[in-house]
A and B are shown apart, each in its own frame.
Chain A
Amino acid sequence: MPQNTYRKRRLGLLWEIVSYFVLFFGALVILMPFAWMFSTSFGTAETAFSLPPRWIPNFFNTKSYRQLLEAVPFFRYMWNSFKVAALITVGQLVTCSTAAYAFARIRFRGRDPIFLLLLSSMMIPIQVTVIPLFILVRRVGLYNTHASLILPVVISAFGVFLLRQFFLTIPAELEEAARIDGASHFVIYFRIILPLSGPALSTLAVLCFLYFWNELFRPLIFINSIEKYTIPLGLVMLRGQYDVGSPTRTMAAVTLAIIPAVVIFILAQRYLVEGIAITGLKE
């Protein structure tokens, strides 16, 4: 039936064209807002809303960036966000990796119930704990400090889970020789498991850093003075109470604000994507 095959092939080609069109149109919709943001950040108040929009940025016009840096301590915000996110990340890497090692390699009493309890805590919405935490933070005098953002989250059930799953895939034979030689758990954790876990640790680090770099809810509650603002808080406040903030200035701020995320995305995309894919495969 040659005619049938012919029809089938033509249908295949049509399908091919349609799916390419859908995929590339989607990709365009994803990228377009970033292009507009970037080009508008180099615009003037007059051109900000010009239609059709300008897609080519005029790099010589950096007025909105200068205005932004004069109006608010934006680099300060960036430093604050970096400090907060980096310290949380370091903290989580330490606490999660030790706990994950214990759950994967040490047989201690109550291990499995504790692990389950830890996992189930992932279902508790942050809004439930944030109210008592706010009261606690005020009581101990940490209100409006970065410590109030950092301390409560240097632990993570997700991080423990992610690293434990990875540690379980490391063959136990690797440690056997060390154990026969009388090496302690700490030595095995530090000398054998950690050096083999670069990818998993990187995944956790990247996910954790980005999450707290982008976080708005807790800073909105725990921080109230400008010099302590983190980036998302600074962005929200910049727009002003009644949307009076200049659009070009806001776009300049957004452009600066997302640079670190973009850099991390480019450098560590593999860890990000693979880490997320792995969490999805654990049913």
Chain B
Amino acid sequence: MSYSERVLRKKENVTGYLFILPTLIGFLSFVFGPMVAAVILSFFSWDLFTPPKFVGLGNYRALLGDEHLLSVYKNTLILVGGVVSLEIIGGLIVAVLIEQRILRSLKYFLRTTYFFPYVISATAVALVWHLLLNPDLGVVNYYLSKIGIDRINWLFSTQWARFSIILVETWKNIGFYIVIFLAGLQNIPRQLYEAAEVDGANRVQQFFYLTLPLLSPTTFFLIVVGLINAFQIFDMPYVLTRGGPGGATRTVVMYIYETGFRFFNMGYAATVSLSLFVFIAVLTFIQFRMSGRWVFYR
């Protein structure tokens, strides 16, 4: 390497670091720093007002014997399972139905409509649905009674309250899934369907043997992202059901919020949040390991 080359190389290095400097500083102080701090905090008991007390693995031991934690994890798993499967299946069905329509303006109208709730805050959505789902005065039960379905106790019975969260969360997010599925569908070459038709494959066969495998990278992406987001569910249960009835819709993040910012149990809240992080990370890792079995890249 000549002298001038070395000078040039060095100049590139300096310029590169100057360009990423704001992002780098931001990440060290607001993401990675706090991440490390959370780990340290998990070995302490601290209420913010008295000095922090080192408790070793005390918080982790408490984690294992915490019945509340068990129940919020159970609630979260139920909600996550319901939300993600409904969003994936519903989003896929609607996307496939939209994609086969011929009229372009209609396609555009439908995509726009379904996507709309995605840009509205979960808070606003939950406030509206809270009134719509009122068991006695709500619009939903009124129209259901018209088709002969008896009063459903949407928000105040254990099972229905969970189902309500799943429904409204899906209602809000389904447009996101539809938009991404549509983009994935448009990437599948038309000729494959023509060839399948010549070979006598009907619509159902085409869906299962062509669309589904060719769409699997998109589906995989949506499951990974959907799960990561769903595990952090907070706004919807916080506003729609306030975690009720009797804690049936209290989620892990609501528990972290209460532990940390209502009861100022900083060390334990940090420990619970780390458990959530590990949970999400392991789940994502497993998905990537298993993806080879069902995801096909062309």
List 16 contacting pairs A-B, 8 Å CB cutoff, sorted by A.
A19-B97, A27-B113, A33-B128, A51-B139, A94-B22, A102-B15, A103-B20, A106-B15, A108-B13, A125-B273, A127-B257, A128-B34, A217-B235, A258-B120, A269-B112, A276-B176
Q: CB distance A131 to B276 under 8 Å?
A: no
Residue of A nearest to B253 (CB): A127
Which residues of B have CB within 8 Å of A239? 127, 239
Q: Which of A114-150 contact B (CB under 8 A)?
A: 114, 118, 121, 123-136, 138
Which residues of A have CB within 8 Å of B248? none
Known A216-B121, A261-B121, A277-B180; contact A127-B266, beta-carbon cutoff 8 A? no
Q: B62 contacts the other chain (Cβ, under 8 Å)?
A: no
Known A30-B114, A257-B121; contact A216-B238, beta-carbon cutoff 8 A? yes
Which residues of A have CB within 8 Å of B113? 27, 30-31
Q: B69 contacts the other chain (Cβ, under 8 Å)?
A: no
Residue of B nearest to A185 (CB): B15
Known A22-B97, A251-B128, A254-B128; contact A128-B35, beta-carbon cutoff 8 A? yes
Q: B188 contacts the other chain (Cβ, under 8 Å)?
A: no
Q: CB distance B260 to A131 under 8 Å?
A: yes
Q: CB distance A283 to B221 under 8 Å?
A: yes
Which residues of A have CB within 8 Å of B24? 99, 114
Task: From B71-79, B129-137, B157-165, give the one contacting chain A.
Answer: B129-137
Which residues of A have CB within 8 Å of B232? 125-127
Q: A29 contacts the other chain (Cβ, under 8 Å)?
A: yes
Which residues of A have CB within 8 Å of B94? 22-23, 26
The 4 closest A-B pairs by CB, nearest first: A108-B16, A155-B26, A214-B121, A280-B180
Residue of B nearest to A138 (CB): B48
Q: CB distance A95 to B23 under 8 Å?
A: yes
A interface footprint on B12-45 (CB within 8 Å = 1, 0 otherwise):
1101110110111011001111110110010000
Q: A231 contacts the other chain (Cβ, under 8 Å)?
A: yes
**C-alpha gap A123/B280 in the complex (Å):** 8
Q: Which of B165-195 contact A (CB under 8 A)?
A: 171, 175-176, 179-180, 182-184, 187
Q: CB distance B184 to A221 under 8 Å?
A: no
Q: CB distance A111 to B131 under 8 Å?
A: no
Task: Output the least CB separation between B178 and chain A (Å).
Answer: 10
Interface residues on A, range: 35 or more
Which residues of B have CB within 8 Å of A82? none
Q: CB distance A152 to B131 under 8 Å?
A: no
Interface residues on B, range: 35 or more
Q: CB distance A129 to B38 under 8 Å?
A: yes
Q: A36 contacts the other chain (Cβ, under 8 Å)?
A: yes
Task: Output the least CB separation between A206 and chain B (Å).
Answer: 9
Q: Which residues of A contact B (CB under 8 A)?
A: 15, 19, 22-23, 26-27, 29-34, 36-37, 40, 49, 51-53, 94-96, 98-99, 101-103, 106-109, 111, 114, 118, 121, 123-136, 138, 151-155, 157, 160, 184-186, 189, 210, 213-217, 220-221, 231-232, 235-236, 239, 243, 247, 250-251, 254, 257-258, 261-262, 264-265, 269, 272-273, 276-281, 283
**C-alpha gap A152/B29 in the complex (Å):** 8
Which residues of B have CB within 8 Å of A136? 34, 37
**C-alpha gap A181/B234 in the complex (Å):** 54
Task: Output the least CB separation between B277 and chain A (Å).
Answer: 5
Pick the contact of B22 from A49, A98, A114, A254 — CB < 8 Å? A98
Task: Output the least CB separation between A110 and chain B (Å).
Answer: 9
Which residues of B have CB within 8 Å of A215? 121
Which residues of A have CB within 8 Å of B121? 213-216, 231-232, 235, 257-258, 261
Pick the contact of B128 from A36, A101, A121, A124 — CB < 8 Å? A36
Which residues of A have CB within 8 Å of B269? 131
Task: Output the least CB separation between A230 and chain B (Å).
Answer: 10
Known A125-B280, A129-B38; contact A23-B97, beta-carbon cutoff 8 A? yes
Residue of B nearest to A153 (CB): B30
**C-alpha gap A69/B191 in the complex (Å):** 59
Further contacts, 5 of them, CB under 8 A, given A19-B100, A154-B22, A189-B19:
A19-B101, A129-B31, A132-B34, A220-B261, A254-B128
Pick the contact of B98 from A23, A34, A96 — CB < 8 Å? A23
Known A107-B12, A123-B284, A220-B257; contact A280-B221, beta-carbon cutoff 8 A? yes
